[in-house]
Amino acid sequence: MCRLGKLEKAGKLFEHALALSPRHPDVLTEYGEFLERSDVTRANHLYTRALIFAPDHSRALQNRQRTQPLVEQNDLSQLERIDRKRDELAAIPESSAALRRIKKEAYFQQIHHTAGIEGNTMTLAETRTIVETRMAVGGRSVMEHNEILGLDAAIKYINTTLVNRVGAITLDDLLQIHRRVMGHADPTAAGELRTNQVYVSEHVPPPPGRIHTLLESFIEWLNAPETLSLHPVKYAALAHYKLVFIHPFSDGNGRTSRLLMNLIMMQAGYPPVIIRKQDRYIYYRTLQLANEGDLRPFVRFIAECAEKTLDVYVWATREYVQKIGDETERSPATAHHEQAEDDFVRNFNGDDLVRLRTPSAHREPQELPIDEIRLGASGPQLVEPLVQVIDDEPTQVTGELRLIRVDRRDAATLLPLIQRHIAPGTTVYSDEWAAYHGIDAISGGNYIHRTVNHQNNFINPADQAVHTQGIEGAWSRAKLDLMRLKRGTSPELLPGHLARLWSRP
């Protein structure tokens, strides 16, 4: 089939065979040979996996030996590229207003994404509100609030106490980080080693009786001269993997491991690596591959995240300076400053964004993420779109929420707005407000309309994907910000206030 030029079909057949027999050495080897011309790194990984399950497989051994030098050179080139970008970032003075603002935005991004990897559903806007105001947002659980507060406390501890400290990383440092990560969510377990056996998907961590010995060995490895001689990205990734493999705590292991990784990165002059919650499948998949014997995919994944983080820092700082200069005394409330932060956010969530055109032909398109739309009936109407393309233009994703003011909340007002703003075929989630009952019947819409009864539940008990929690939290944040404005919220002023509040996610 490959000889006939049907490469795409052959690739699908190999993927199917691999799904049926993921540990069959012949399947792994033949698929590696098929991929070698286009992706030598993945081919080499497949040969390595074949040898994990069949150490004497001659073809896999020969193929790995042949491709290993190429892969090692590719990995080295990636690390050298990352170092050049780190040096470019290091050349920006610490006094730079642009750099300070980007670091602040990255702080919220780090908390938002590392919590999101673990299933926290807070939006970036809600995360920022909780960290800045210490006030609750509506529609979110107490546990989710406490996870955000714990990460905030742990990162502040690392930044103020550990990053610039001279000396080795100790076991007490790890316990102190975990104590803050879990201090709000579960104070009794915070900073305490687990005393029970836990199970993590396909991984069975060591029994509790071995944890202290394993941690002592881990700390010894962490500070050994040969370990410290590793490239910082590789060192940080391996430290992350080793700690999460031991899984020393009942909860919070992933968050603590990612914070340890970023402590090592910052001590070496890199910004904290942000692993996007959108990439959690790759993150967990490469961790599983490491558990099976090949750590390189995980190290490469962390390197890719580190490079992307550096790209966004450098790009956003450069854009900021080009737009407004780099004067440290400029007012932080200017639209240009807010745009610079928008640029950072959009660049970070770059894979998933589409454009949604505004009703007026005289305005530029507003960028909104689309996938599924959630509608709320209380207060101004809000749409929370999450992937469906409306325009054919190549785009990027922000993760934003938008509030849209309407004069009336009846079907005659809302249904035309839905038809105008939401792409046909989109899944629409809403409460059971009567005006939404006609969504299914909108001509040409082909919408899939699913509801939750807010009189009984905020989440549909039959399908927990159906909820409007984000809307409730967003409206709570909007009201909080409106109160801070100390201005009226008349129908004439409200649209302008909402535009300011939702100019960034």
User: Is residue 262 scored above 50 in pLDDT?
Assistant: yes
User: Is residue 62 scored above 70 in pLDDT?
Assistant: yes
Show the CA angle centred on residue 92, arms to residues 89 and 93, nearest 5°. 135
Which residues are documented as binding site? 200-203, 251-258, 283-284, 291
User: Mind listing the pLDDT tens digit for each residue in 315-324?
Assistant: 877 765 555 5
Ranges in the chain annotated CATH 1.10.3290.10: 92-324
What rounded mean pLDDT belongs to the chain?
79
By the 8 A CB rule, do 256 and 249 touch? yes
User: Is residue 399 scored above 70 in pLDDT?
Assistant: no
pLDDT of residue 2: 55
Query: Which of 302 and 466 is assigned the larger pLDDT?
Result: 302
Host H or E run for residue 403: strand 402-404
Which residues are documented as binding site for ATP? 200-203, 251-258, 283-284, 291
From the options 3.30.70.1350, 1.10.3290.10, 1.10.3080.10, 1.10.10.10, give the CATH code of 92-324. Answer: 1.10.3290.10
| Tokens (6 digits) for 225 | 């001269």
pLDDT of residue 325: 57
Least confident of 76-85, 285-294, 380-389: 380-389
Q: What is the 3-class SS of 425-468, one letter each residue?
A: CCEEEEECCHHHHHHHHCCCCCCEEEEECCCCCCECCCCCCCEC
What residues are annotated to the active site?
A: 247
Query: Which of 405 and 127 is assigned the larger pLDDT?
Result: 127
Least confident of 247-256, 298-307, 327-336: 327-336
Domain 7-80 in CATH 3.40.50.300: no
* pTM above threshold 0.95: no
pLDDT of residue 496: 59
Instruction: Please compute the mean of the pLDDT values over residues 420-441 and round it to a whole number.
Output: 77
As a whole number of angstroms, the distance between CA 354 and CA 259 comes to 32
Closest CA to 114 of 78, 83, 154, 54: 154
Q: How confident is the model at residue 353 (pLDDT cuts 50, 70, 90)?
A: very low
User: Mind listing the pLDDT tens digit for each residue in 458-504?
Assistant: 666 677 667 766 666 556 556 555 555 544 455 556 655 555 555 44
Ranges in the chain annotated CATH 1.25.40.10: 7-80
Instruction: Please compute the mean of the pLDDT values over residues 67-93 and round it to a whole number.
Output: 94
